[in-house]
Amino acid sequence: MATIPENIQQVRARIAAACAGAQRPVQSVTLLCVSKTFGAEAVREAHAAGERRFGENYVQEGVDKVAALADLRGDIEWHLIGPLQSNKTRVVAEHFDWVHSVDRLKVAQRLSEQRPAHLPPLQVCLQVNISAQASKSGLAPQEVAGVAREVAALPGLKLRGLMAIPEPAGDLDSQRRPHAALRQLLGELQREGLDVDTLSMGMSADLEAAVMEGATIVRVGTAIFGGR
């Protein structure tokens, strides 16, 4: 059974190989370690192996982990990547550095109002339902530009880009298609003059396809921490 540091090394090697294949500098892709359902000690182990960015899917579990690892707070960037209900925005605005899963304007407005003034702007991505899955939250692609303009104008937030969780696909070409569609959407926002630079896409099973299509953040859990 491989250890967390060994797994991190393997994932980083995969990212490096994918970057080389896509003729991208390896530093253009950020690894986000998805620690949902794994305890604070697993995060501490990954941190000791050099990782600094951790993603949580569940608000309360994430907040509990932030508290449990308070001694590392200045050295860890906490990302919420799971669904966010309106009634949970305050605790997220107070504890997280990034939110990848903003899927409606109301949530963004609440995060903006509730972000404490002494903290830097909350970095946010709009979640796009790029594969039009009934089971997934996210904006429809045609809604993205309008919502992005409004979110970009909110105080206390910094709109960084787009996030998606495409439908699983078996082969590389099928995996690349939704990531390419998300990249095109980001390009449209950039052409409209919005200052966005982030594509949060790609997970343990499809990070190579995502890197080939321009991912700047890959969200990897299982390949680092093991099955859930």
- pLDDT, tens only, 178-217: 999 999 999 999 999 999 999 999 999 999 999 999 999 9
Amino acid at 91: V
**C-alpha distance from residue 226 to each of 201, 219, 221 (Å):** 20, 14, 7
CATH of the domain at 208: 3.20.20.10
d(CA 203, CA 222) in angstroms, rounded, equals 9
What's the pLDDT score for residue 210? 98
CA dihedral defined by 99, 150, 201, 12, rounded to 10 degrees?
A: -60
What's the pLDDT score for residue 134? 83
**C-alpha distance from residue 170 to each of 19, 175, 209, 217 (Å):** 21, 7, 11, 21
Q: What separation, in Å, do the N-terminal and C-terminal C-alpha atoms of the chain show?
A: 15
Between 170 and 33, where is the model more confident?
33
d(CA 43, CA 223) in angstroms, rounded, equals 14
Q: What is the DSSP letter of 139?
A: B
- Tell me the pLDDT band of 143, cut-offs 50, 70 and 90: very high
What's the pLDDT score for residue 1? 83
- Tell me the pLDDT band of 142, cut-offs 50, 70 and 90: very high
pLDDT at 135 over 90: no
pLDDT at 59 over 90: yes
The total number of structural domains that make up the chain: 1
The whole domain housing 208 covers: 4-225
pLDDT mean over 127-153: 95
pLDDT mean over 92-108: 98
